[in-house]
């Protein structure tokens, strides 16, 4: 919310929403399909769309949803995409092999509501002690529905196969201290995209939740700089 407040105070309209199954939204807790999450995003865009340029920001799972949505909708009227700590492979801390992957895909067809532990240690997600305490107090911070887990595996493959077709302006940010997602893969995403304007930013000593770190002003500066670099090109294109 702090990041959103900073942009709001800069006269930027910011819209935050909880995807189905998360936060205060309806749906089976932690077990929607990627398709359902994309429908959520489409619904929000329909409600907030106006004549002003619209940028998307997605973090972690949100980055997967935003990337998948734009790859499926290459003519969508979106000015640019900013993502941080995108999950495009099985996190390093989750012990995963081919047999487990195949088992997950098989069992998810029969037990949609069954949840599995993600083995995420909240104390390694961020150095923000207040947020860590909130996660530790929650009993649901380390679970993920098998249906969603299976969808994520398929989304990882889809993104890696189609990223070379991605043409929207793109900003990718990743922390060097992120032990769950590989910064090398974020760098690869930015490099592989066909975007005319793209930028990869490696944030030193930032954990997975980059916007919660003490240096969050760096994240704000990068996003703001990205937006103001893309906007003049959009305005020039509209005039022509």
Strands (E), the chain: 55-59, 80-84, 115-117, 143-145, 170-175, 198-203
CA pair distance 31, 118, nearest whole angstrom: 13
pLDDT of residue 191: 96
pLDDT of residue 88: 85
Q: What integer is the mean pLDDT of 185-195?
A: 96
Over residues 127-183, the pLDDT tens digits come to 777 776 776 666 555 566 777 877 888 899 999 999 999 999 999 999 999 988 889
pLDDT of residue 54: 92
Contact 144, 118 (CB under 8 A): yes
Contact 65, 19 (CB under 8 A): yes
152 contacts: CB under 8 Å, gap ≥ 6: 34, 61, 64, 87
Q: What separation in angstroms does the CA of 1 have from each of 14, 49, 210?
A: 10, 21, 13
Six token digits for residue 139? 């009993």
Is it the case that residue 103 has pLDDT exceeding 60? no
What are residue 172's DSSP bridge partners? 83, 200
The predicted model scores a pTM of 0.83
pLDDT of residue 216: 80
% of the chain at pLDDT higher than 90:
40
- pLDDT, the chain, mean: 81
Identify the helix (H) or strand (E) that includes residue 98. helix 98-107
Contact 199, 179 (CB under 8 A): no
Q: How many CB atoms lie within 10 A of CB 41?
A: 20
Lowest mean pLDDT among 39-48, 99-108, 141-150, 198-207: 99-108
Lowest mean pLDDT among 22-26, 48-52, 106-110, 121-125: 106-110
Contact 67, 171 (CB under 8 A): no
pLDDT of residue 166: 97
Q: What integer is the mean pLDDT of 198-206?
A: 95
Assign 111 a pLDDT band (cuts: 50, 70, 90): low
Is it the case that residue 98 has pLDDT exceeding 50? no
Six token digits for residue 179? 């032990």
User: Which of 28-32, 104-108, 224-228, 230-234 is predicted most confidently?
Assistant: 224-228
Is it the case that residue 72 has pLDDT exceeding 70? yes
CA pair distance 125, 128, nearest whole angstrom: 9
pLDDT of residue 95: 47
CA pair distance 214, 80, nearest whole angstrom: 26
Is it the case that residue 194 has pLDDT exceeding 50? yes
Is it the case that residue 232 has pLDDT exceeding 50? yes
CA pair distance 236, 53, nearest whole angstrom: 13
């Amino acid at each position: 919310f702090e990041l959103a407040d900073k942009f709001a105070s800069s006269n930027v309209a910011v819209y935050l929403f909880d995807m189905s199954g998360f936060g205060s939204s309806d749906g089976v807790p932690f077990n929607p399909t990627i398709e359902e999450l994309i429908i959520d995003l489409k619904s929000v865009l329909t409600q907030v769309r106006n004549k002003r340029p619209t940028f998307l920001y997605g973090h972690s799972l949100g980055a997967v949803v935003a990337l998948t949505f734009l790859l499926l909708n290459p003519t969508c009227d979106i000015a640019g995409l900013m993502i941080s700590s995108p999950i495009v492979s099985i996190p390093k801390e989750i012990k995963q092999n081919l047999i487990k992957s195949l088992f997950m895909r098989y069992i998810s067809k029969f037990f949609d509501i069954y949840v599995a532990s993600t083995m995420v240690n909240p104390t390694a997600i961020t150095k923000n002690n207040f947020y860590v305490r909130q996660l530790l107090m929650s009993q649901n911070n380390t679970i993920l529905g098998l249906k969603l887990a299976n969808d994520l595996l398929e989304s990882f493959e889809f993104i890696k196969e189609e990223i070379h077709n991605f043409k929207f302006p793109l900003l990718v940010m990743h922390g060097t201290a992120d032990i769950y997602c590989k910064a090398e893969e974020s760098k690869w995403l930015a490099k592989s995209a066909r975007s005319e304007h793209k930028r990869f930013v490696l944030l030193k000593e930032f954990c997975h939740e980059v916007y919660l770190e003490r240096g969050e002003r760096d994240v704000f500066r990068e996003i703001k700089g990205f937006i103001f670099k893309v906007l003049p090109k959009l305005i020039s294109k509209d005039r022509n």
